[in-house]
Amino acid sequence: MKGYAGKILRVNLSDGRMSKEEIPEEMMRKFLGGRGFAAKILWDEVSGVDPLSEGNKIVFSTGPLTGLPIPSSGKMVIASKSPLTGGYGDGNIGSMAAVHLRRAGYDVLIVEGKSERPCYIAIQDEKVEILDARDIWGKMSFEAQDSLEAKHGKNVGVLVIGPGGENIVRFATVMSQRGRAGGRPGMGAVMGSKNLKAIVVRGTGEIPVFDVERLREMGKEGYGEIKGKENYDFWIRQGTMQVFEWANENNCLPTSNFREGTFRFSKRLDGYALERLKVGRKGCPLCNMQCGNIIKDAENMNAELDYENVGMLGSNIGMDDLRKVGVLNRMADEYGLDTISLGSCLGFLMEASEKKLIEARIEWGDFDACQKAIEDIVKRRGLGEIIFEGVRKASERVGGDSQDWAMHVKGLEISAYDCHACPGMALSYGTSPIGAHHKDAWVISWEVSTDRFSYSKEKVEKIIELQRLRGGLFESMTTCRLPWIEVDFGLHWYPKYLEAARGVGISQEEISELGDRIYTLIRSYWVRESRSWSRKMDYPPSRWFEEPLNQGDLKGYKLDRARYDGMLSRYYEIRGWDEDGAPQKETLEGLGLGDVVSVLGENG
C-alpha cells in the first residue's frame, strides 16, 4: 500500500544480526501504524519476559502521515514492555528521527537483544551499523546529542538517553532535540538495559505517497488554516501553559502531592508568568504552532516549560518560582527523566518526610534538596534508592499509609490533573492503556464545562470516544493532536490526508473500530503479562476517594468509590470486556483479534 515505506528494520544487539522485513498489507489495514503497529508487534513478540532483560524489545514506530508535508507530522511512537509498570508502555516523541526513519525507507525499527558494551545504532538509508558509544556513555542527553551531530552532521535525527536511562531509573525517557521527551513508562530505561545510548538516523529518499500533489496542496491549506485560527496567537504566546490558570481556577491543579487542587502562588507559575520570562520557542519538525516555551532558568540557562512540567515540578512540590522550576525541568531533560513521574516522586518523598516515614528531611518547595534528590535518583543512592523505581515501589519500601497517596495507576505516576472533583478524568486515568497518563482521554476540559460531578453513562461514552480518536487515530497516523485540540484545526482533514497518502481514506466507523481494536489488544497484553490482573488495576489511588479537598471553592469534595465502580462497569460493558476488565471472546473475534482468544482463553 502507498503511504508506507512498507518495511520494518530489525536490529539485534546481542549478535549484530539485522533484517529488513515487509510489513504485511493486512497489518497496515488493521493497525494503521504507530501505536497500532507497536501493540501488534509487542503482542506477537514480547511475552512473559522481564522488561529489563535481553528478551524485551523496543519498537520505534511511525505512521502513514509521519514526515509528510502536513501540519505537525514529525512524530513517532516508542513502545516496549514497561519496566515501570510491567505492562504495555509507550510514548509519543516529536523528532527529526521520525522523519528521517521514513525517508530512509522504514516505518518501524525494532531493537532487540542486548549489547555487551555501550553502543548506538547509526542508520543512513540502506546502511545500518552498530557503533561504539563508550565515549558518550555517561554524558548528559544534550551533550551526547551534540557529540553525535558533530560526528554525523547536523542533518540527522537523534534519539538519545541520559544518565537516568543508563542507570535504569524506571521512569527514564528517550530524549531528542534537547527538549523533546518520549516514553514516560521507562522507555529510556529499556534502552539503557540494552546498553543502547542512541539512535542516529538519516534518510535521503522520498516517502512514497499516493497523490503527492494533492497532499502538498492540502498540507498548505492546513498550515494556513491553523495560522488563521482565533486561538493561534495566544497559543504561540503560552502553548500548553495556558492550561495552568484554568486548572487552578477549576480546582484541578496538582498541589502538595495531589492533596489539593489549588496553589496559593499559582500566579507566580502560570502562563502570564511564563510570558514575562519567555525568550523563545521551539518544537517538533513540520509544525507551525511550536509549543516548546523557552525561558532563562535560575541558572541562566535555557529551559523548556510545558504545563505538565510546571504542574508537577511546581505546585505539586510547593515550588513557587518558575525559574527554579526551569532548572529542575532542564535537569530532567539532561538526565533523561520523565518530568511528570519525577514531580510525583519528589512530592511522595516530601510527604513521606513530613510524615516521618523516612529518615531524611526534604521539605515542600526546597529547591536545593530537590536538585540533590534528582542527582541521587540518577545515581540510585540515598533518597534515590527509595524512589528510583517510581512511587508504587517506593510505597512498598516506606510502608505506613503511603500506598494511599502513592499517586499512580498501574505503576505509572499520574499526570498533572487533580481528580478529587473530576470522576470522568479519574476514569480516564484508570483506563488509560499505559497507566495514569492524560494523553488518551483528556476529558477534563469537557467534564468541567458540562456536568462536572456526575458519574454518568454519557461521560463514559465521551471517554471512549476520545480514546478512539486520541489514543487510536492520532497515535497511529502518527501526528500531533494539538492542532485539533488546542487551535481547533478541523478533524475532517485527517481522513483526507490519509487518502492522499495511502490512496485509502478512513471512515468514522473505521476510526472507531481501529481504536477499539488497539485498545482491546493492549488490554489483552496487560492481562497476559500481569500475574494478578483484576479490576482494581483500573482504580485511581485511595487519596481521591478518602481525603477531601481542604481548600478552594470545592473544599470537601472527593470521589465516590461505589459510583466510580459503577462507571467502570459501564466502561467494560461498552468495550465488551468482562467484569474484571478482560476482553471477551466475542469482542476479540469481532475486532479481528481471534488469535488472542487462544492465548487468553475462551472467556477472556
Residue numbers of the site for ligand SF4 (CB under 6 A)?
Answer: 72, 94, 283-284, 287, 289-292, 480, 482
Residue 340 in contact with ligand PTT, rule: CB under 6 A: yes
Q: How far is the CB of 177 from ligand PTT (least distance, A)?
A: 8
Please identify, using beta-carbon distances, which residue of 421 and 469 lies nearer to ligand SF4.
469
Q: What is the 3-state secondary structure (H, E, C) of 468-511?
A: HHHHHHHHHHCCCCHHHHHHCCCCCHHHHHHHHHHCCCCCHHHH
- For residue 230, the tally of other CB atoms under 10 A from its CB is 9
Q: How far is the CB of 364 from ligand SF4 (least distance, A)?
A: 31
Residue 254 in contact with ligand PTT, rule: CB under 6 A: no
Residue 94 in contact with ligand PTT, rule: CB under 6 A: yes
* Torsion sign (Cα): 314, 318, 322, 325: negative
Which among 213-221, 253-261, 305-313, 359-367 is the span making contact with ligand PTT, rule CB under 6 A?
A: 305-313
Peptide bond between residue 587 and the one before it cis (omega within 30 degrees of 0): no
Residue 38 in contact with ligand PTT, rule: CB under 6 A: no
Spatial separation of the C-alpha atoms in residues 169 and 101, rounded to whole Å:
27
Q: Largest Cα–Cα distance in the chain?
A: 65
Task: Return the closest-CA partner of residue 83 out of 167, 159, 140, 178.
Answer: 167
DSSP secondary structure letters along 523-580: HHHHHHH-TT--GGGGPPPTHHHHS---SSTTTT----HHHHHHHHHHHHHHHTB-TT
Contact status, residue 369 vs residue 345, Cβ threshold 8 Å: no
Phi and psi at residue 364, to the nearest 5°? -55, 130
Residue 285 in contact with ligand PTT, rule: CB under 6 A: no
Q: What is the 3-state secondary structure (H, E, C) of 146-209?
A: HHHHHHHCCCCEEEECCHHHHCCCCCECEEECCCEEECCCCHHHHHHHCCEEEEEEECCCCCCC
Residue 475 in contact with ligand PTT, rule: CB under 6 A: yes
Q: How far is the CB of 284 from ligand PTT (least distance, A)?
A: 5
Q: How far is the CB of 309 from ligand SF4 (least distance, A)?
A: 13
Residue 346 binding target from ligand PTT, ligand SF4, none, CB below 5 to 8 Å by type: none
Q: How far is the CB of 290 from ligand SF4 (least distance, A)?
A: 4
Residue 184 binding target from ligand PTT, ligand SF4, none, CB below 5 to 8 Å by type: ligand PTT
Please identify, using beta-carbon distances, which residue of 180 and 202 lies nearer to ligand SF4.
180
Kindly identify the residues of this chain, within the stretch 154-183, that bind ligand PTT according to CB under 6 A.
Answer: 173, 179-183
Spatial separation of the C-alpha atoms in residues 491 and 247, rounded to whole Å:
25
Q: How far is the CB of 276 from ligand SF4 (least distance, A)?
A: 21
Q: How far is the CB of 61 from ligand PTT (least distance, A)?
A: 12
Phi and psi at residue 270, to the nearest 5°? -80, -175
Residue 334 in contact with ligand PTT, rule: CB under 6 A: no
Q: What is the 3-state secondary structure (H, E, C) of 263-316?
A: CCCHHHCCHHHHHHHEEEEECCCCCCCCCEEEEECCCCCEEEECHHHHHHHCHH
Which of 166, 245, 270, 304 lies at the binding interface for ligand PTT (CB under 6 A)? 304
Residue 287 binding target from ligand SF4, ligand PTT, none, CB below 5 to 8 Å by type: ligand SF4
| Residues with Cβ within 8 Å of residue 233, at least 6 apart in sequence | none
Residue nearest to ligand SF4 (CB): 283
Please identify, using beta-carbon distances, which residue of 289 and 342 lies nearer to ligand SF4.
289
Residue 189 binding target from ligand PTT, ligand SF4, none, CB below 5 to 8 Å by type: none
Please identify, using beta-carbon distances, which residue of 284 and 407 lies nearer to ligand SF4.
284
* Helix, coil or strand: residue 370: helix
Please identify, using beta-carbon distances, which residue of 389 and 440 lies nearer to ligand SF4.
440
Q: How far is the CB of 92 from ligand SF4 (least distance, A)?
A: 9
In terms of Cβ atoms closer than 10 Å to its own Cβ (0-12, 13-18, 19+), residue 324 is buried
| Residues with Cβ within 8 Å of residue 217, at least 6 apart in sequence | none
Length of the chain: 604
Residue 92 in contact with ligand PTT, rule: CB under 6 A: yes
Task: Return the closest-CA partner of residue 215 out of 419, 10, 478, 503.
Answer: 503
**Residue written as cell 520494518?**
8
Residue nearest to ligand PTT (CB): 91
Q: How far is the CB of 75 from ligand SF4 (least distance, A)?
A: 7
Number of helices and strands in the chain (H, E): 27, 17
Q: How far is the CB of 452 from ligand PTT (least distance, A)?
A: 22
Residue 439 in contact with ligand PTT, rule: CB under 6 A: yes
Please identify, using beta-carbon distances, which residue of 341 and 395 lies nearer to ligand PTT.
341
Task: Return the closest-CA partner of residue 200 out of 137, 138, 125.
Answer: 125
Residue 310 in contact with ligand PTT, rule: CB under 6 A: no
Contact mark string toward ligand PTT, 98..137, x via CB under 6 A: ----------------------------------------
Residue 480 in contact with ligand PTT, rule: CB under 6 A: yes
User: Which residues bind to ligand PTT, rule: CB under 6 A?
Assistant: 75, 91-94, 173, 179-184, 240, 284, 304, 306-309, 332-333, 337-340, 439, 474-475, 480-482
